[in-house]
Amino acid sequence: MSAEHLRLGVNIDHVATVRNARGGAYPDPIRAARLAEAAGADGITAHLREDRRHITDADIEGLMAALSVPLNFEMAATDEMQRIALRHKPHAVCIVPEKREERTTEGGLEVAREENRLAHFIAPLREAGCRVSIFIAADKKQIEAAHRIGAQVIELHTGAYCDAHAEGDFQARDRELEALREMSAFAHSLGLEVHAGHGLAYDTVQPVAAFPEVRELNIGHFLIGEAIFLGLEPAVRQMRRLMDEARA
């Protein structure tokens, strides 16, 4: 297959983390979203967590009003989040597992075990015109279940691949990468659009960006960290350049 344009979704959650460390309004995630957009982001991702530890309801409202690229609204499968998504009708909704005690989204969603509930949960979101994405591990059972419940998109969790790379366990890293490669092709063969993300950085992005079935990468923490050293626009531009290079 020919490699179509690989979209970059910039996750701005951690601009809000820094803001919330002091309260107040600075730094403003919406200003960051606009800069990311100017630097070549194809979309902005924001996760409204149940405990509002970073992004707030007002941020989602502000992003919906300010963005000219699509918003990918990450949320847990709760009634409260469904109501918020149905009020804003963002371009995309990404359903993620959420545990209060975790530092970040640790694993993928257990779709297979909750098929019925999730099928009912996403139906109104689809009817409202949102593209529904399910964040899952590179696991055939979960991909098949995501397909059965009517999701249009899956996002593959790249955390285990990135962790293995960071730990220098290259055998595990290559195993994880191979699973991501195989499962991208499998999901695509079912007609699902394939996205990927979590933990990606300059030194891990290219092998994933090279998978022709992957249409979008969502990247946050590393880019916001790198923005401290380079500025946000150069950091996003460099990620964009690496993605394009891997795709060429």
Report the binding-site residues for 3-amino-2-oxopropyl phosphate: 11, 22, 199, 220-221
Nearest to 155 by CA among 207, 68, 81, 97: 97
> Quick check: is 101 catalytic?
no
Number of amino acids touching ligand PXP (CB under 6 A): 19
Site string for ligand PXP, 105-144 (x = CB under 6 A): x-----------------------------x---------
x/- map, 196-225, ligand PXP, by CB under 6 A: -xxxx-----------------xxxxx---
- State the Cα angle at 220 between 153 and 210, rounded to 5°: 55
The verdict on whether omega for the bond into residue 70 sits within 30 degrees of 0, i.e. cis, is: no
Let me know if 198 is a catalytic residue.
yes
- Specify the amino acid at residue 193: E
> What is the distance between the alpha carbons of residues 131 and 178, in angstroms, rounded to a whole number?
27
Residues facing 71 on adjacent strands: 44
Smallest separation (angstroms) from ligand PXP to the CB of 200 = 6
Active-site annotation holds for 47: yes
Question: Helical H runs in the chain?
Answer: 13-22, 29-38, 57-66, 79-88, 115-127, 140-148, 159-166, 170-189, 205-209, 221-230, 232-247
Residue 74 binds ligand PXP, judged by CB under 6 A:
yes
d(CA 162, CA 170): 10
* Active-site choice (176, 193, 198, 216): 198
What is d(CA 3, CA 137) in angstroms, rounded to the nearest whole number?
23
- Report the 10 Å Cβ neighbour count for 56: 17
11 binds ligand PXP, rule: CB under 6 A: yes
Separation of alpha carbons 97 and 119, rounded Å? 15
The 151-190 site mask, x for binding ligand PXP (CB under 6 A), equals ----x-----------------------------------
CB of 223 to ligand PXP, least distance (A): 7
C-beta of 46: minimal distance to ligand PXP in Å? 9
Nearest approach, Cβ of residue 220 and ligand PXP (Å): 3
Only one of the segments 22-30, 53-61, 191-199, 202-210 lies at the binding site for ligand PXP (rule: CB under 6 A); that segment is 191-199
Chain contacts with ligand PXP (rule: CB under 6 A): 11, 13, 47, 74, 94, 96, 104-105, 135, 155, 197-200, 218-222
